[in-house]
Amino acid sequence: TSLLILNGPNLNLLGTRQPEVYGDTTLEQIEAMCIDKGRVAGCNVSCFQSNHEGELIEAIHAARNTYDGIILNAGAYTHTSVALMDAISSVGVPVIELHLSNIHAREEFRHKSYIAPVAIGQICGFGPKGYTLAIEAMLGHLEKTG
């Protein structure tokens, strides 16, 4: 089993970016946690981050032949990107939507997600721990669906 952890815009700044909202864990630490979680669970975990919508779309396209599931924190593109939504619909790879913060408890514009309708589920509000929860949830989903 191979999983892709895909992070979108501004998440490269985790650790220093609005720590009161996003905490002080860096993306590097989160990625190391995910790879570790994968090792323990016996699956292969790869990580990619981009600030560019097109690169995220291309990563989703490429995942079609490479990964069994994607954990996606699309950052602000969550709330704007029909193109990301279409990319997910276009490849047969299951996606779990992830956010560090509880987007539903924040500004109104963060309540709308273009990812949610094409994701198998959403995890938000649990900080970095959400990534390992998402890996567990994805492995459970893949086991169920074969």
Decide: helix, strand or coil at residue 6: strand
Q: Is residue 80 a contact point for ligand DQA (CB under 6 A)?
A: no
User: Which one, of 74, 93, 5, 89, lies nearest residue 45 by Cα?
Assistant: 5
User: Which one, of 73, 71, 97, lies nearest residue 22 by Cα?
Assistant: 73
Is residue 22 part of the annotated active site? The answer reads yes
Is 102 labeled as ligand-binding? no
User: Judged by CB, which is closer to ligand DQA: 75, or 94?
Assistant: 75
Q: Is residue 100 a contact point for ligand DQA (CB under 6 A)?
A: yes
Q: CB of 140: closest distance to ligand DQA in angstroms?
A: 22
Q: Which one is catalytic: 22, 77, 114, 131?
A: 22
Is 73 labeled as ligand-binding? yes
Dist CA 146 CA 128 (whole Å):
28
What DSSP line would sit under 40-105, residue for residue?
Answer: HHT-EEEEEE-S-HHHHHHHHHHHTTT-SEEEEE-GGGGGT-HHHHHHHHHS---EEEEESS-GGG
Is 13 labeled as ligand-binding? no
Among residues 5, 99, 114, 131, the one that binds ligand DQA under rule CB under 6 A: 99
Query: 101 near 79, Cβ under 8 Å?
Result: no
Q: Is residue 134 a contact point for ligand DQA (CB under 6 A)?
A: no
User: Judged by CB, which is closer to ligand DQA: 42, or 113?
Assistant: 113
Residue positions in the annotated binding site for substrate?
73, 79, 86, 100-101, 110
Could you list the residues that contact ligand DQA (CB under 6 A)? 10, 73, 75-76, 78, 99-101, 103, 110
